[in-house]
Amino acid sequence: MKLGTTLILIYPIAVGSFVVQSRCMPESNEFSLLLKNHRAELQLSVRQAATKVGISHSTLVRVEMGKLPDISSFAKLCQWLRLSPKKGLESLGLTQSRPR
């Protein structure tokens, strides 16, 4: 669905017994800012940080730009940031629906 110049998409993601949905894809989100700040604090390049996390540098660049990571990358990034998956989802601007 397109409203004006904003593309609205719904991304269902299964996490445990919950299904979460994002109603829109933000250009920047708290998760991307957490990643950038953590990488800056450690004085790591994108490639260095991606190697430490165990993901490709292109994935890290995309996530830092506000894109949603796949579930495997999300788990690795949460672990690197020392965030619970729940806090990670909240920082991405995702909300939980009821368990199925």
For 62-72, write each residue's pLDDT tens digit.
Answer: 999 999 999 99
Query: Helix, strand, coil shares of the chain as percentages rounded to 5?
Result: 45, 15, 40
Domains present along the chain, CATH in parentheses: 2-96 (1.10.260.40)
* pTM score: 0.68
Instruction: Report residue 75's pLDDT band, with 50, 70 and 90 as the boundaries.
Output: very high
